[in-house]
């Protein structure tokens, strides 16, 4: 029997460290859902590495140069696979907009919202992304 494809798996995560630090409650915990990356997300993220330049010195030594940071790579992974998030602004508007388990914002709009997160919350989200997509874990 041929392979039957199904939609990408989605896993829910509780941002427990962020709740402990910033006052989330057990009754209304801070939650995100993350999609398993499919081939399209892998290729889109992989395009960042096309901007890496290989240089060979006069002795045959090889080095690589890039303007892409690990933060750029991780942020792109969040943009590509975050399926839901219940973090809100002070006025109760959602930080991120979603439609059909995908970010429903331009990448610039997403980046603008992402940059306003405290680092430790952003890092906990990244850890969840990398748990669901271990092939993207940079420092594990």
Task: Calculate mean pLDDT across residues 101-130.
Answer: 97
Mean pLDDT of the chain: 93
Three-class DSSP labels, 8-22: CCEEEEECHHHHHHH
Task: Calculate mean pLDDT across residues 29-58.
Answer: 92
Question: Does residue 37 register a pLDDT over 90?
Answer: yes
> Which of residues 81 and 65 earns the better pLDDT score?
81
Q: Are 26 and 14 in contact (CB under 8 A)?
A: no
- What are the phi and psi torsion angles at 129 (to 5°)? -60, -45
């Amino acid at each position: 029997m041929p392979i039957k494809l199904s939609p990408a798996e989605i896993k829910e995560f509780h941002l427990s460290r962020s709740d402990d630090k910033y006052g989330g409650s057990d009754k209304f915990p801070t939650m995100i859902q993350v999609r398993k990356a499919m081939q399209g997300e892998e290729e889109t993220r992989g395009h960042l590495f096309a901007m890496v330049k290989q240089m060979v010195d006069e002795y045959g030594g090889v080095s690589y140069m890039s303007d892409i940071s690990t933060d750029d790579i991780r942020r792109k992974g969040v943009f590509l696979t975050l399926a839901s998030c219940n973090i809100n602004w002070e006025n109760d508007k959602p930080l991120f907009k979603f439609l059909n388990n995908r970010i429903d914002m331009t990448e610039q709009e997403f980046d603008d919202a992402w940059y306003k997160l405290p680092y430790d919350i952003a890092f906990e989200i990244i850890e969840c992304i990398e748990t669901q997509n271990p092939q993207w874990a940079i420092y594990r």
